[in-house]
Amino acid sequence: MTTEHATARINPWAVAQQQFDLAAEKLGLDAGMRAVLREPRREFTVHFPVHMDDGSVRVFTGYRVQHNLGRGPAKGGIRYHQDVSIDEVKALAMWMTWKCAVVGIPYGGGKGGVIVDPKQLSMRELEALTRRFFTEIEVLVGPEKDIPAPDVNTNAQVMAWMMDTYSMHAGYTVPGVVTGKPISLGGSEGRNEATARGTVYCIVEAARHLGIELKKAKVAVQGFGNAGSIAAQLIVAEGSTVVAVSDSTGGIHNPNGLDVNKVIAWKKEHGTVQGFPGATDIGNEQVLEVECEILIPAALENQITERNADKVKARLIAEAANGPTTPEADRILWKKSKFMIPDILCNAGGVTVSYFEWVQDLNRDHWSEEIVNAKLKEIMVKAFTSVLAIARREQCDMRTAAYLLAVERVADAMAMRGLYP
Which residues are identified as catalytic? 111
Q: Of the candidates 317, 321, 329, 405, which one interacts with ligand NAD according to CB under 6 A?
A: 321
Q: Could you tell me if 243 and 290 are in contact, meaning their C-beta atoms sit under 8 angstroms apart?
A: yes
Longest dimension (CA), the chain: 65
Binds ligand NAD (CB under 6 A): choice among 50, 74, 103, 227: 227
**Residues from 333 through 372 that contact ligand NAD (CB under 6 A):** 347, 350
Site track for ligand NAD across 231-270, x = CB under 6 A: ---------------xxx----------------------
**Least separation, in Å, of the C-beta of 251 and ligand NAD?**
8
Q: Which of the residues 159 through 218 are near ligand NAD (CB under 6 A)?
A: 195
Least Å distance, CB 27 to ligand NAD, is 25
User: Quick one: 112 or 150, whose CB is closer to ligand NAD?
Assistant: 150
Q: How far apart are CA 95 and CA 272, in angstroms?
A: 30
Comparing CB distances to ligand NAD, the nearer of 73 and 150 is 150
- Name the segment binding ligand NAD (CB under 6 A); options: 23-31, 164-172, 224-232, 396-404: 224-232
Q: Please report how close the Cβ of residue 53 comes to ligand NAD at its closest, in angstroms.
A: 23
Per-residue x/- marks for ligand NAD, 12-31, CB under 6 A?
A: --------------------
| Piece of the chain touching ligand NAD by CB under 6 A; list 161-169, 297-305, 375-383, 386-394 | 297-305
Nearer residue to ligand NAD within complex by CB, 29 or 242: 242
Q: Is 320 in the site for ligand NAD (CB under 6 A)?
A: yes
Residue 152 in contact with ligand NAD, rule: CB under 6 A: yes
Q: Which residue in 63, 201, 224, 276 binds ligand NAD (CB under 6 A)?
A: 224
Q: Residue 33 or residue 341: which is nearer to ligand NAD going by CB?
A: 341
376 binds ligand NAD (CB under 6 A): no
Residues within window 32-71 making contact with ligand NAD, judged by CB under 6 A: none
Binding site for ligand NAD (CB under 6 A): 3, 150-153, 195, 222-228, 246-248, 284, 298-300, 320-322, 347, 350
